Amino acid sequence: MRRAFLLATLAMASCAAPVFAQNLSAPMNATVRLRLMPQTEALLEQVMTQGRTLRLDGQDVFGAGDKFLGGKIADGMAFVIVGMDKDDPRLPRYEAGFRKLAQLTLHDKLTTWGIYYYMQALAKLKDAGRLEACLDPQTLAALKTKLDWRSFVDPDFRLIDLPNNYYGVAFSIAQLRHKLGWEDASGMTTLLDKTLAHYRTYSQYGFADETDGQGRFDRYSILLIGELSQRYIEAGLTPPPDVRDWLRESAKVLLLRLNEEGDGFEYGRSIGPYGETAFLEVLSAAATLNLLTPQERDAAYSYSSIVAQRYMDFWVDGRTGSVNMWEKGRKTDDYRGKNRILGENLSLARQYIYTNAEWNALGYRDVAPTTDLAAWRAAQPPLTLTWFAKGDYDRALVTVIDDQRLFGLPLINGGEDQHNHSPYFPLPFSPDLISGVPDGAAPQLIVRFTLADGTELEPLSYFRDVEAHALPGGGAEVRYDQAKMDRLGQKTPQPDARLAARTLYRFSKGEVTREDVFTPAAPLDVAAIDLEFASYSMTAHLSHEADAWRVSYGDGAAISFTIQGLQTCALTPVDDPAYRTPTGAFHSLLRCRSGGATLTQPLRISWRLTYNATGRTP
């Protein structure tokens, strides 16, 4: 039996990531100064002239409930103002614009990060001697009341309905209020202690669990110590030894991932361009605190230059002048919805601007990048096991490198709201090959059991006995057990011991395989078993050979996909928001299923994916 189809090129679709020539002669400072700053200024010009009537790429900017927006506008304006010479003819207009926008947004809702951004703006203006020119005394007095960490921290120093990483935001605000002379250092000191206490309680190996021990270790778990270190740098404080150690551990994870394409962090929520800027913040802090070797520092700077260029070439849409995380096949989680379009532009610009300033201070101003990042990647260890936590369950990240292709296999728990979303699945994520869908719950490369009673089970959260070994002659094996499945349907993971799984991943040159053996604790009535593989490839052919289904791909990074253990498979083109990723849309969808049965013996289901390992494919 053989089925085939040719997926037509979709007019509005884009591939997983762009194929663009990297101009390694472009220093980060040149890109920021000549391309990013003019783009940011053009947006701010629109805000100053259009005010609350502003629409950006069809989005009503001020009517969309962005609770950080006022602070991001202030911070963006401050960056432009302090970057101007005193005799710049634009300066009086921008100072007047700051006064106008401060009054325009004074009574808008502003929380957490928005307060922090606004405080950053005020501190920059004060340091530059321009605060009085940009704010009248009455507005400044109102802001002193409004911009307070106590709006989300109660009198007992407990966060109000927020995850623990917001202690770092509160500390940053308190530190800046202290710097402006608005309060003493007691709040700052206590909040810093709270931030470090959470690390010391839930970060066995130096990586932040966003939850109270559930095991959500994602991009932000790597980034948070970089953000905290940046606050130490801003305040002129010396980080304690454990902070420096944690920062070095995060830097090591990211140094493994440097690449000539500018690909960023590969799994979890809120990646896209933020998966790239996480590298900027962690590595510039590590370089500033002298935690990188000279070779690592040069490589980190070279990658930062590529990422800055990628931001302008790929993420910024030349038609709208705005960052695009939502159109042309791209998708992000609801947290970064398009209602925040102006704020996303300004916060991303900020990360490039201030990390560029740090590289400039380290002597890299307008220095051409020198590190061959293809050679850098090829020189990295083929297998790295990074432990996040050990206890009731194992939490770890396995990194496998095959030539220019990197796989990141997270064995974590997405925790509340994220455990059943594919960006947190235990998959070997790899740019332009294997991706999750933001907020998406389809069983991407994961077996889903639907029981006769309607329960849905997936092997997502309860990892134990994780082992990772290099294989003789190259490649790697990863093994782990799960005595419980994740019972879907609730906000948090629910353990279900009716079914157990033993999983084996095997990586070898140009291919990755996964084998699951599912064992019922007692006879188990199953209504259906499902698995999907959504691919970026537009051309694909499906065939059925013996007990295996095979897809051959005619374009893209995937070469073939073979699955055994399920009864039927169907391959279709897909053009659906439910199958879009941060960098672009999936184009082909393989759906495989077995029907109802009573499971009494172990069931083996396996798949094999072959791929292009040498780099980006058109």
Number of helices (H), then strands (E), in the chain: 15, 24
Distance CA 248, CA 285 (A): 10
Low-confidence ranges of the chain (pLDDT < 50): 1-23, 618
The model's pTM is 0.92
Contact 563, 531 (CB under 8 A): yes
Kind plus residue range of the DSSP H or E element containing 611: strand 603-611
Structure tokens at 597: 């049965």
Contact 279, 350 (CB under 8 A): no
Kindly state the percentage of the chain with pLDDT values over 70. Answer: 95
Backbone angles phi, psi at 448, to 5 degrees: -115, 125
At 617 the pLDDT is 52
Contact 514, 531 (CB under 8 A): no
Q: Which residues pair with 512 in a beta bridge?
A: 507, 609
Query: What DSSP string describes 276-309?
Result: HHHHHHHHHHHHHTT-S-HHHHHHHHHHHHHHHH
Question: Length of the chain in residues, anyone?
Answer: 618
Q: Which residue has the tokens 């999983």?
A: 503
Closest CA to 514 of 425, 606, 430: 606
> What is the dihedral sign for C-alpha 174, 176, 177, 181?
positive
Contact 5, 546 (CB under 8 A): no
Rounded to the nearest 10 degrees, the angle between the axes of helix 219-235 and helix 273-288 is: 40
Task: Rounding to the nearest 10 degrees, give the CA dihedral for residues 593, 596, 598, 599.
Answer: 10
Task: Rounding to the nearest 10 degrees, give the CA dihedral for residues 363, 368, 374, 379.
Answer: -30
Closest CA to 327 of 580, 103, 66, 133: 580
> What is the dihedral sign for C-alpha 216, 221, 222, 223?
positive
Task: Give per-residue burial for 521-552: e unless 16+ CB within 10 Å, then b.
Answer: eeebebeebbbbbbbbbbbbbbbeeeebbbbb
DSSP secondary structure letter of residue 364: I
Distance CA 321, CA 56 (A): 9
Q: Which residue has the tokens 């391959």?
A: 571
With 0-12 CB in 10 A as exposed, 13-18 as middle and 19+ as buried, what is 460? buried
Q: Write the pLDDT tens digit of every residue in 473-509.
A: 889 999 999 999 999 999 999 999 999 999 999 999 9
Task: Rounding to the nearest 10 degrees, give the CA dihedral for residues 383, 388, 392, 393.
Answer: -40
Residue type, 433: L
Closest CA to 505 of 426, 614, 612, 563: 426
Q: Distance from first CA to last CA of the chain, Å, rounded?
A: 30
With 0-12 CB in 10 A as exposed, 13-18 as middle and 19+ as buried, what is 163? middle
In terms of phi and psi (left: phi > 0; alpha: psi -120 to 50; beta: otherwise), the region of 442 is: beta
Distance CA 563, CA 235 (A): 55
Structure tokens at 408: 């990141």
